[in-house]
Amino acid sequence: MKRAQVTSSKFIQLAEQMSSYIIKSRSENTNKKYFAAFNRWDLFISAEGGNSLPAESIHVALYVTHLIDKGHSSSVIEGAVYAIKWAHSLRGFRDPTDNCFVKNLLESAKRQCKKKVNKKDPVTSDQVKELCKKHVHTEDAILLRDLTLLILCFTGFLRYDEARSLKCNDVSIYDDYISLNIAKSKTDQYRQGNSVVISAGVTEACPVKMVKKYINVARISLDSNHFFFKPAYRSKGVSALIRKDKPLSYTTARERVISLLKEVCGDANLGLHSLRAGGATMVANTSTKDRLWKIHGRWKTDKAKDGYVVDTLDNKLEVTKSLML
């Protein structure tokens, strides 16, 4: 503004508004991640007597070298570089990461810092049915909340953040299916929303029956704008959701769901992602069209979708059986 010699009150007001719009070019979580990473870069370069903004390319390259020496993963190093790039773009400065040293160091980090992927074991339909059958007569609000969360993540291929963000009025119940409005999703960058439909079943693990029972016992109104899954309390043998509109934390959800799954899954390597991966794996090994369950799981690419699936031995053998030897 000063360089352009524009100082009118109207332009100053527009400049402030423009800044807020530019910040919103990235999601809130991405901004938080980049801001934290840039602060770490600022501490490093300030201690060495350099400038964090605008920065010199050689200083960024040396910082990346420092991160590699410290044994950070390639994703952390990429995040640091993107944060520096982001901060410079916001201020209209030259991008110091657009440099051959920085680019080659990033490639080096991917080769040297690659860690073995430790994927969680997928849950099966039989395990979910066995668990629901075991607790079929429960009237406990906390247990029903956990079972409902488990079933919706399994059948709706929900990421935990999607389940956590569900509001009561995002849930619609019909005779033979339920519909979930996913207002916020990892792959829905422009918040267009997504609808996930889940069919009724014929066993104790029927999603429609479980959701109805949870709503009834926990006294949930589907007209409410409160979170569908909330923290709960137990007092004098009675359990109930708290009145405050607060989502269930990741830590509590993980502990509760894994504790339940251990009842039927033994020593399997479990996590909340076991539900999404388990549902996807069960469907992938049937004749359901790829396009349909890719849409159901809200995957952007086939590569992302296929990363969730564990093929059965029979399906793997089909490749060589087709050779007719």
Angle of helix 273-284 relative to helix 125-134, nearest 10 degrees, comes to 120
Out of 30-34, 81-85, 229-233, 243-247, least confident range: 30-34
Q: What is the pLDDT of residue 260?
A: 94
Q: What is the pLDDT of residue 41?
A: 95
Structural domains in the chain, sorted by start: 9-112 (1.10.150.130), 125-314 (1.10.443.10)
**77 Cβ neighbours under 8 A, 6+ residues apart:** 64, 67, 68, 106, 109, 113
Q: What is the pLDDT of residue 110?
A: 85
As a whole number of Å, the end-to-end CA separation of the chain is: 75
The maximal CA–CA distance of the chain, rounded, in angstroms, is 82
Q: What is the pLDDT of residue 92?
A: 87
**Tens of pLDDT along 113-127?**
556 667 788 999 999
Tokens for 182, please give them.
Answer: 């996913």
Share of the chain above pLDDT 90, in %: 59
- Give the separation between CA 198 and CA 179, rounded to whole angstroms: 6
Q: 238 and 208 in contact (C-beta within 8 Å)?
A: no
Work out whether the CA dihedral 18, 24, 25, 29 comes out positive or negative.
positive
Which amino acid, residue 272? L
Going across the sheet that includes 177-182, the strands are 171-173, 177-182, 194-199
324: left (phi over 0), alpha (psi -120 to 50) or beta: left
Helix, strand, coil percent values for the chain (each to nearest 5):
55, 10, 40
**Tens of pLDDT along 3-19?**
666 667 777 788 778 87
Q: What is the pLDDT of residue 112?
A: 79
Q: In the predicted model, what is the mean pLDDT of residues 292-299?
A: 79
Q: What is the pLDDT of residue 313?
A: 76
Q: How far is CA 24 from CA 12, 90, 162, 192, 264, in A?
A: 19, 11, 21, 16, 45
Q: What are phi and psi of 181, to 5 degrees?
A: -90, 110
Q: In the predicted model, what is the mean pLDDT of residues 204-218?
A: 95
Q: Is 298 exposed, middle or buried (0-12, 13-18, 19+ CB in 10 A)?
A: buried
Alpha-carbon torsion angle 179, 180, 181, 182, nearest 10: -140
Q: Residue 236 — very low, low, confident or very high, per pLDDT cuts 50/70/90?
A: confident
> Is pLDDT of 188 > 60?
no
Q: Closest by alpha carbon to 95, among 85, 103, 87?
A: 85
- Give the separation between CA 281 and CA 313, rounded to whole angstroms: 13
pTM of the full structure: 0.70
> Is pLDDT of 189 > 60?
no
Reported as half-sphere exposure (CB side, CA atoms, 13 A), residue 205 has a value of 18
Out of 107-116, 230-239, 277-286, least confident range: 107-116
- Give the separation between CA 18 and CA 30, rounded to whole angstroms: 19
Q: 97 and 84 in contact (C-beta within 8 Å)?
A: yes
Q: What is the pLDDT of residue 2?
A: 60
| More confident site: 21 or 315 | 21
Q: What is the pLDDT of residue 190?
A: 41
**Tens of pLDDT along 15-61?**
778 878 888 888 788 889 999 999 999 999 999 999 999 999 999 99
Q: Is 239 helix (H, G, I), strand (E, B) or coil?
A: strand
